[in-house]
């Protein structure tokens, strides 16, 4: 019965007619993916579930006005993203850092579809894993732990020049993977921004 809904045109047509089985299919097919996506922004599973519930409610309420689309997944991701932004503004006063973070999120989301963004984040994460051992350690201490070059030098028992060399090498290797978007991607991964 639900096989027919794999056809986007049929699914959209049935949703617009108020077919509840089409709606159940929509939820069953996309719920987990959307919750994971929302959780990647919120870091709060309950909040992510609430956002996704609102997304599906909005889709059902506005089913007769659903736009023509080529990708239902991208459409749902976009709604989820905008719901998150609305929630974020509602529930939190934004600090300067949070404003910068939201700006990067907005910029990156507009420039890329979510799958491309996920691929780029995975590329950078993989690149960090593949850095030479000392280079990786210095980079993680800088980006994840927020240590200064002097603190890293003391911690690793090496000179500041060596730390700078490790960090320069790390940035160069990672830039080869994603180019000029490295700064934004690192910001999304680590949630804090140092000079890149």
For residue range 64-81, list pLDDT tens digits in order. 888 877 778 888 888 888
Q: Where are the domains of the chain?
A: 2-91, 96-190
What are the distances in angstroms from CA 178 to CA 99, 117, 124, 193, 196? 24, 10, 7, 17, 13
pLDDT band of 55, cuts 50, 70, 90: very high
**pLDDT higher at 118 or 25:** 25
Residue 62 — φ and ψ, nearest 5°?
A: -100, 20
Distance separating alpha carbons of residues 26 and 8, to the nearest angstrom: 10
pLDDT band of 162, cuts 50, 70, 90: very high
pLDDT band of 56, cuts 50, 70, 90: very high
Are 55 and 83 contacting, i.e. CB atoms less than 8 angstroms apart?
A: yes
Burial profile 43-62: b = 16 or more Cβ within 10 angstroms, e = fewer: eeeebbbbbbebbbeebeee
What end-to-end distance do the CA atoms of the chain give, in Å? 53
pLDDT number for residue 6: 82
Residue 110, judged by CB atoms within 10 A of its CB (0-12, 13-18, 19+), counts as exposed
Which ranges of 17-112 does DSSP label H, i.e. alpha helix?
Answer: 20-42, 45-61, 72-91, 96-111
Q: What percent of the chain has pLDDT over 70?
A: 76
**Above 70 in pLDDT, residue 114?**
no
pLDDT number for residue 193: 39
Distance separating alpha carbons of residues 12 and 5, to the nearest angstrom: 8
Mean pLDDT (whole number) for 42-71: 86
Q: Which fold has domain 96-190?
A: Arc Repressor Mutant, subunit A (1.10.10)
pLDDT number for residue 182: 72
pLDDT number for residue 192: 42
pLDDT number for residue 194: 41
Place of tokens 């691929």: 119
pLDDT number for residue 169: 92
Distance separating alpha carbons of residues 74 and 14, to the nearest angstrom: 19
**Above 50 in pLDDT, residue 103?**
yes
CATH number of the domain at 2-91, out of 3.40.50.300, 1.10.1740.10, 1.20.1730.10, 2.60.40.10? 1.10.1740.10
**pLDDT higher at 2 or 171:** 171
pTM: 0.47
| Average pLDDT, rounded, for the chain | 79
**Above 80 in pLDDT, residue 18?**
yes
**pLDDT higher at 140 or 97:** 140
Residues 6+ apart with CB under 8 A from 175: 182
From the list 148, 184, 180, 185, the residue with the least C-alpha distance to 167 is 148
Distance separating alpha carbons of residues 73 and 11, to the nearest angstrom: 13
């Amino acid at each position: 019965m639900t096989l027919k809904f794999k056809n986007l045109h049929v699914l959209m047509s049935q949703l617009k007619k108020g077919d509840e089985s089409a709606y159940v299919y929509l939820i069953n097919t996309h719920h987990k993916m959307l919750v994971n996506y929302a959780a990647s922004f919120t870091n709060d599973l309950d909040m992510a579930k609430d956002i996704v519930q609102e997304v599906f409610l909005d889709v059902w309420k506005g089913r007769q006005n659903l736009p023509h689309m080529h990708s239902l997944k991208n459409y749902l991701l976009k709604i989820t993203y905008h719901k998150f932004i609305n929630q974020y503004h509602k529930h939190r006063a934004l600090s300067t850092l949070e404003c910068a973070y939201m700006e990067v999120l907005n910029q990156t989301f507009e420039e890329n579809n979510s799958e491309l963004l996920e691929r780029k984040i995975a590329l950078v994460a993989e690149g960090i894993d593949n850095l030479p051992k000392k280079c990786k350690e210095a980079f993680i201490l800088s980006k994840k732990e927020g240590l200064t070059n002097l603190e890293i030098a003391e911690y690793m028992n090496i000179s500041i020049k060596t730390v700078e060399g490790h960090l320069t090498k790390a940035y160069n290797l990672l830039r080869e993977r994603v180019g000029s978007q490295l700064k934004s991607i690192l910001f999304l991964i680590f949630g804090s921004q140092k000079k890149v």
